Structure 1
Amino acid sequence: MTAGDAPVVMLLGPTASGKTAAALEIASRLPVEIVSVDSALVYRGMDIGTAKPSAEERRRVPHHLIDLIEPTESYSAARFVADARAAIAAIRDRGRLPLLVGGTMLYAKAFAEGLHALPQGDPALRDRIEDEARALGWPALHARLAAIDPRTASRLAPNDAQRIQRALEIAELTGVPMSEWLERQRPAEGPGQAIATIALEPSSRAALHERIAQRFEAMIAAGFVDEVRRLRARGDLHAGLPSMRCVGYRQLWQWCDAGEPGGEAWRQTVAAGIAATRQLAKRQLTWLRAMPGRTTVDCLAANAAAQALEAMRRAVGA
């Protein structure tokens, strides 16, 4: 099987599941280039809190769809699909294998199943929803969404402003919940290629939670607070931007006015960041376990990276 004939392989998993280590192990054995499936890695200047691959790792293995935009900008599933397809085509032209790696399951689903033709947005309605969020808070708008579209609300975090806003907008514009729109319509454009999914899933949720806590503490030790302070000092960012609503950044942004780490306020901030990351992992696993035909690897196994490599070999016939 040639690189052009092989299916596109997606290596997906929740945060702290060891995706980077597994991807680098695969790339050390196969002619792979990595395409990021991560909505936070697209932002320049957000390195520590996103667990962005290091410069040395990126020198060892080509990575794509990282550091694409400034934190002032927004990125979408539609743009991801277009960018990923372009990267995959270029990788195959070089006779190499694309490996999509990440945990933004909405992007993975959009790539695998295609994008749905949803109604166009209404700027005036969007502005009104944002005004209401500033007055009431996004959790209150999430509760409103739960009353009219419980299925969509159940897969969104109470502070997932961008997606809550879009779901409310669609429901108000059309009188039909987003979940029904997605059921009614076939995707406007499918992937046009075979896809194999390798899923890194934990055999113990408690053990994954411990990994998440350890990683968050390691990010703090690596300078996460200083990174957020530098972002705040730019002067062109605010807490309502999608970039600054990323897990960890949101909690540290809120805390930064309080002063140096230490004391009860700091402990509560760290606990909130860890709890938010655990909730993110829970949502990622819910999406992942709904994906049919995936090959599952226990991310807690000592040989998880080797198992992922073997699954990749089988998928591409290497």
Structure 2
Amino acid sequence: MSDHIVHSPNSLPPALFLMGPTASGKTDLAIELCENLPCEIISVDSALIYRGMDIGTAKPNAAELKIAPHKLIDILDPAQSYSVAEFRKDALLAMQDITARGNIPLLVGGTMMYYKALIDGLSPLPESDQNVRQAIEAQAEKSGWNVLHQQLAQFDPTSAKRIHPNDPQRLIRALEVYLLTNRSMTDLMATKSAPIPYNIKQFCIAPDDRKVLHERIAQRFQIMVDTGFQAEVEKLKGRSDLHLNLPSIRCVGYRQMWQYLDGDFDFNEMREKSIAATRQLAKRQLTWLRGWENIYSLDTFSLDNLSKVIKLSQLQS
């Protein structure tokens, strides 16, 4: 099944999306769903993709994975990077396989950009080309950024209005896109992938009270510390190919523990900074979810979340 097939919504196979901020209880509900419905889980989490990063990412444990195996976890080494486009391709293939087995794809996680890419598709923007970028920079040095901004205005007036002449990074990208494709960034951004061929039901799980979420985040970080998070990061730090600029090490908690091990601050400060960064992540996730369309809300502490999902999805347990 390709993501370019067009179906009427009623004939589409079902898929469930279970979103929510960090520490909101997504994994527990997902496992419960797998025990009651023919679901298979696909992880939608940009940190769970990395091998050897288990404690600080709150990766499901061996017992949980035995009950409910997760696809798209432990697929990369922490030295590697993973794009949104790669996630979309891998997730669609996994959904296709699950549907072919007669089961329901259950996508679980809090990386909202991944969900957005699945639902809305991606613009076909080209990858960066170092030679083209260097040529643009050389021209800017010779003629000045204002001249380049005027050039942009000739073939892409919409981007030129949006991008200030003193914003070289975005100006280079808009010029680079045109030079590589002979089409403006505005034109390409309007082109999206076809909608994915599933009848999607979306759910968001979170505690009603933000303070409770903050408490859960603090408790969970303490559990991570108690179960060997420092040793996990020490092991990563022992590798010569890993550093603070990698997406893996920039993950919440890992960056702060790494800096603590570098001697940048003491243990208590590391703990406070990690919890604060996790709260910020939860806040960003909730901001995304507030503007999300066609989503059902579930309270973390409600006892009937399972039956609600089954009923609202019109699926039989």
Query: TM exceeds 0.5?
Result: yes
After TM superposition, give the deviation of residue 123 of structure 1 in Å.
3.1
* Separation (CA, whole Å) in 2 of partners of 1:182 and 1:298: 41
Deviations along 1:90-126, whole A, 9 cap, x unmatched? 1112221110000000001101111122343133688
Distance 1:44 1:181, change over 3 A: farther
Give yes or no for contact 1:12–1:102 (8 Å, CA) kept in 2: yes
**2-structure distance, mates of 1:37, 1:196:** 15
The answer to whether the 8 Å contact 1:22/1:309 transfers is no
Structure 2 unaligned segments of length 5 or more: list them: 1-10, 135-158, 177-184
Is 2:121 the counterpart of 1:114? Answer: yes
Give the number of equivalent residue pairs. 271
- TM-score, normalising length: structure 1: 0.78
Residue of 69, 75, 80 corresponding to 2:82: 75
Residue in 1 aligned with 2:296? 295
2:224 to 210, 219, 228: 219
2:214: which partner in 1? 209
Alignment RMSD:
2.9
Matched AA of 1:50: T
Q: C-alpha distance in 1, partners of 2:309/2:168?
A: 40
- State the percentage of identical aligned residues: 46
Q: Which moved more, 1:201-210 or 1:221-230?
A: 201-210
Q: Cα 1:54–1:86, aligned 2, differ >3 Å: closer, same or farther?
A: same
Evaluate the alpha carbon distance shift between residue 173 and residue 293 of structure 1 in structure 2; reply closer, same or farther with a 3 A threshold: same
SS in 1 for 2:262: helix
Structure 1 residue ranges without an equivalent (≥5): 128-147, 152-166
Task: Show CA shifts across 1:184-235 (max 9, x none).
Answer: 5142332132211101133111111111111111111110000000001122
Distance verdict in 2 for CA 1:57–1:237, change over 3 Å: same
Secondary structure at 1:279's aligned position in 2?
helix
> Map of 1:11-50 to 2, 5 A cutoff?
11-50=18-57
Give CA deviations for 1:213-268 in whole Å, capped at 9, x if unaligned.
11111111110000000001122211110000000000001111339xxxx71111
- Give the SS at the match of 2:266: helix
TM-score normalised by L of structure 2:
0.78
Q: How has the CA–CA distance of structure 1 residues 39 and 119 changed in structure 2, closer, same or farther, with 3 Å as cutoff?
A: same
Q: How does 1:1-318 map to 2 (within 5 A)?
A: 5-123=12-130, 169-174=169-174, 181=186, 185-258=190-263, 265-299=266-300, 301-303=301-303, 306-318=304-316
Aligned partner letter, 1:317:
L
Q: Give the match's secondary structure for 1:10.
A: strand
| Other-structure match for 2:6 | none
Higher Cα radius of gyration: 2
